[in-house]
Structure 1
Amino acid sequence: MRLASRLDNLGTETAFAVAAAAADWKARGNEVYPFHLGDLDFPLAGHIVEAMNKAIADGRTGYCPGPGIPELREALADDIGGRRDLQLDPAEITVMTGGKPVITKFIQAVMNPGDEVLYPNPGFPIYESQIEYHGGVARSYRYLPTQDGFRIDLDQVRELITDKTVAIIYNDLQNPISAESTDQEREAIAQLAQEHDLWVLSDEAYFEMRYEGESRSIASLPGMRERTVILYTFSKKFAMTGSRLGCAVAPPDLSKVFGTMNTNDESCTTHYVQWAGIAALRGPQESGQETLRTLQGRRDAAVELVNQTSGMSVQTPRSTFYLFPDVTEAIQIVQADGLADFAEQALHHTGVSFCTRNHFGRPQPGEDRRYIRFAYSGLPEDRIREGLTKLRDWVGSF
């Protein structure tokens, strides 16, 4: 029996492939420092757990409205709108099972087979996977390294737009490279979207995961609210990765489409988890603030040790929980045959497991520097120092 040919275009979140190699190495009795997967090792805040348990005890375990329960949609409209200087109506909120479904349903709603969608590269691999799986043409735009961090190659974006382009995926506070847009860059993307009548998916998963500065949404710029879908997730700020809770913020007509898609795909988001989401938004915020303080300490430790390692360098990011160091010279020092061999050698010699640039999109022509990604969200600071010290010493032994 045959399977659908479109499955050939379905990719995956490649960090999980690295996780399999790390798990195999650990199963052989070796120490592993898992910098590969951007999960968080913080427990759910007590009031969130209590709200979830109470909802279960109260019998909120059956079906509920496909777009989300009214109480959560209202809380999301208040919170998301208040932090972005937007007056949102609950009708613009569609609750989903995490942030990933927003990507999928956005692509399904705005793109026909053969249409082109622009997406960041390096970037979250699910963008490319979903565009191609649904019959679109994925056009990747690059980032350029500067003294102030990575910047979108706006000239390339302009060149990529054709009469077949229908949307651009824009990830400010970016995974994997921790880039954040300047006001000028954000405004340039908004101008291009309006000039060419493009939809924008603004992936704002890390909007509140920042240590300094202030986040801004492209949706708050003039002329952008009616063409922008915001991806929101509870996974990062509230450490609710396994709870699978998020939402799309979209113009009302598109929000109705998302609600219908929900009904077709999963009926509804888990009822009692939605009540936990309300508690997260409306309840005490101290645990989230403590999480950020802890992550900042981890970031500083990781930056310090990476920059002490021969042939590696990284700037201190102001947001997310990733580092994207340049390791071009380190690869040469250890005489590795490219990024994959470097990662394998590092795992086997030091136990440090990480993703490489190649796990976040196909390298573009002309890339001459080599990068890896460290996620420091799932290891305590002492383990970060222990693992990266071993990596530093191993590279320094050559």
Structure 2
Amino acid sequence: MDLAHRLERLGTETAFAVAQAAAAWTAKGNRVYPFHLGDINIPTAPHIIEAMNAAIADGKTGYCPGAGIPPLREALAEDIGSRRGTSVDPGSIVVMTGGKPVITKFLQTVMNPGQEVLYPNPGFPIYESQIEYLGGTGLPYRYVPTEDGFAIDLDQVRSLITPNTVAIIYNDLQNPISAESTAAEREAIAALAQEHDLWVLSDEAYFEMRYEGESTSITTIPGMAERTVILYTFSKKFAMTGSRLGCAVAPPEVASIFATLNTNDESCTTHYVQWAGIEALRGTQQPVFDMLDILRERRDETCRLVNEIPGMQVAVPKSTFYVFPDVTGAMQRMGFATVGEFAEQALYNTGMSFCTRQHFGRRQPGEERDYIRLAYSGIDLADIQEGLGRLKDWVASA
């Protein structure tokens, strides 16, 4: 029997494939330093777990509204609005099982088969996967290296837009490259969206995962709230990756559609997890600050050690928990023709497990440099030091 042809267009989150290779190498008795997956090895705060358990004990284990329970929608509206300096109506909040469903439901709502959607490349691979799976045409836009990291190639974005383009996915505080827009860049994206009447998905998963400065949402620019959907997740800020809790902040007509899609797809987000979300938002925030202190120390040490490795360099990002080092010189020094080969041999020779540029979208014409992504959220400081020390010795010995 045949399967649906659209499955041929379905991608995956490729970091999980790297995790499988790392697990196989570990199973053979080898030491592995896990820089590949953006999970968090810091436990969910006890008061959040206690709220979840209390909700279970209180019988919050059945169905609930598809858009989310009202107390959580109210808490989210208050928190998201206050942190962005704007007003958010609880009716614009639709609770979902994490951030990923927001991507899919946004595309289901605004994109017809054959229409075009701009998306960042390198970028979160689920963007590309879902655009193509749902029958759209993905238009990848690139970043260019700067002294501080990376910037969107705005000239390329302008050149890609056609009358058939309906939306742009915009990931400020970006995975995998940790790029953060300047005010001018953010305003340029907003201007293009308004000029060409585009919908915008603003992926704000890392909005509060920052070590210096303040985050700004594109929705605060006049004319943007009515055309923008915010992707929000509890996974990062509250170390709740496995709890699967997030939401969309959407214009009313879109929020209504999202709620209907929820009813069709999942019925509802797990009831007792939503009560844990309320406690996360309204309870003590000290665990968030403590986690950021830990991650800041890991970031600083990761960047310091990377920049000591011959042929590797990286700017220190102000947000997320990734760094995206240029490894072109190290590869040339060691005679590797592809970054995939470099990563494979790094695993076997040093135990370092990481993703590469090729895991975050198809390489674009004109790309001359090679990069890897190191996620430091799931690895302790001592292992960061040991793993990167082994990588340094391996590269230096060539």
Q: TM-score range by the shorter chain?
A: over 0.9
Task: Report deviation, 1:337.
Answer: 2.8
User: Does residue 383 in structure 1 map to residue 389 in structure 2?
Assistant: no
Deviations 1:21-72 (A, max 9, x none): 0000000000000100000001111110110000000000000000000000
Number of aligned positions between the proteins? 398
> Using the alignment, how far apart are the partners of 1:318 and 1:276 within structure 2?
29
Q: How far does residue 281 in structure 1 lie from its aligned partner after superposition?
A: 0.1
Q: How does 1:246-265 map to 2 (within 5 A)?
A: 246-265=246-265
User: What is the CA distance between 1:322 and its match in structure 2?
Assistant: 0.3
* 2:53 corresponding residue in structure 1: 53
**How far off is 1:148 after superposition?**
2.3
Is 1:10 aligned with 2:10? yes
1:297 aligns with 2:310: no
Report what 1:327 is aligned to. 327
Output the CA distance in 2 between the equivalents of 1:153 and 1:340: 25
1:151 maps to 151
User: Which ranges in structure 2 are unaligned for 5 or more consecutive residues?
Assistant: none
- Name the counterpart of 1:242: 242
The SS at the match of 1:308 is coil
Amino acid at match of 2:254: L
- The sequence identity of aligned pairs, in percent, is 72
1:86-113, Cα deviation, whole Å (9 max, x unpaired) = 1111000000000000000000000000
Match of 1:69 in 2: 69
- Per-residue deviation at 1:168? 0.1
What corresponds to 1:344 in structure 2? 344
Equivalence for 2:128: 128
Amino acid at match of 2:233: T
Q: Which has the higher mean CA deviation after the structures are superposed, 337-346 or 173-182?
A: 337-346
Following superposition, the deviation at residue 77 of structure 1 comes to 0.1
Alpha-carbon separation, structure 2, partners of 1:80 and 1:374 = 29
Q: State the AA in 1 paired with 2:272.
A: Y
* CA distance in structure 2 between the aligned counterparts of 1:256 and 1:233, rounded to whole angstroms: 19
The letter for the 2-side match of 1:162 is: T
The amino acid of 1:235's aligned partner reads: S
Structure 1 counterpart SS, 2:248: strand
Letter in 1 for 2:243: S
Instruction: Tell me the SS of whatever aligns to 1:348.
Output: helix
Looking at structure 2, the residues matched to 103 and 86 of structure 1 have their Cα atoms a distance apart, in angstroms, of 23
| TM-score, normalising length: structure 2 | 1.00
Give me the whole-angstrom Cα distance separating, in 2, the residues matched to 1:86 and 1:163. 32
Quote the residue 1:101 is aligned against.
101
Report the 3-state secondary structure (helix = DSSP H, G, I; strand = E; otherwise coil) of the residue aligned with 1:367.
Answer: coil
Equivalent residue for 1:167?
A: 167
Query: Match of 1:30?
Result: 30
Question: 2 CA distance for matches of 1:60 and 1:146?
Answer: 50
User: Taking structure 1 as the reference length, what is the TM-score of the superposition?
Assistant: 1.00
CA drift of 1:245 comes to: 0.1
CA distance in 2, matches of 1:220, 1:174: 19
Look up the equivalent residue of 1:317 and give its one-letter code. P
Any idea what the Cα deviations from partners look like across 1:370-389, whole Å, max 9, x if unmatched? 00000000011111001000
- 1:201 is matched with 201
SS, match of residue 294 in structure 1: helix
Moved over 4 A (4+): none
SS in 1 for 2:359: helix
The aligned counterpart of 1:267 is 267
